[in-house]
Amino acid sequence: MRSKDEVRREVWRAMDREGVSRFPGAEGRIPNFAGAKAASERLARHPDWVRAETIKANPDAPQTHSRRLALAQGKCLVMAVPRLRDEHPFRLLDPRRLSEEQQREAATIKGALRHGKVIDLEQVPPLDFILTGSVAVNLKGVRIGKGGGFSDLEYGLLAESGKVDRRTVVATTVHPIQIVRENLMVTGHDIPVDIVSTPRAVIEVERAHERPTGILWDHLQPPQIHEIPVLERMGYAG
């Protein structure tokens, strides 16, 4: 089985080679892709999205339109501060408190930080739906991110505090070239997805792996814990 880094490098190269990545290119990030808006619009018609009242979304470029749609549809949006670096690491965006112009701006990471209400982990409302970015994903629901581990860590924090559970729907939007046909390496902290949305189809996958039910402390190094205030507080409390 190939390493996660090998899969990432291949997908990034393929996206750039086939001309489906968008500025500033695929490598090193959750890549923006041709058709990202269409993939978001397809996802927004899925019954699980329609039913959701509160959505946590990643801050990356290909999911910008999803965040904009969520706010336009009256859904509350939760976003994490990049790298969880703040004492209060989440922002809550309530569209009822935002003008139409502010909603459009709040769909960007800078706008979310500007217009979002600063909240701590304990203040995050129960989540109905999670949108996450991917570099690669397969049809068993296994996803590979860009390598920082923050999406998985955010999920672990939310699970630890009872904001999500195994019933919370997790989705990703990708270009078809990001869907791989091989088994992907899985670790205990990885979050499998339930829905993969592309510009042409929404695919419901049957999860082959369980989600973590909290923080896996033995997967973290002391420097990581000390760099993330909420983890450091939890570690001292434990």
* 167-195 residue pLDDT tens: 999 999 999 999 999 999 998 889 999 99
Q: What percent of the chain has pLDDT over 90?
A: 78
Q: What percent of the chain has pLDDT over 70?
A: 98
pLDDT over 70 at 237, yes or no = no
pLDDT mean over 125-132: 97
* Residue 34 neighbours by CB under 8 Å, 6+ apart: 19, 20, 21, 22, 175, 199
Biggest distance spanned by C-alpha atoms of the chain: 50
pLDDT higher for 39 or 1? 39
pLDDT over 70 at 54, yes or no = yes
pLDDT over 90 at 238, yes or no = no
Q: What is the pLDDT of residue 232?
A: 86
**Residue listed under structure tokens 């899925």:** 46
Phi, psi of 55 (to 5 degrees): -125, 135
pLDDT over 60 at 215, yes or no = yes
Query: 143-144 and 202-204 as β-strands: parallel, antiparallel, unpaired?
Result: unpaired
pLDDT mean over 230-234: 86
* Residue 6 neighbours by CB under 8 Å, 6+ apart: none
In this prediction the pTM is: 0.94
Which tokens sit at 114?
């500007």
pLDDT over 90 at 12, yes or no = yes
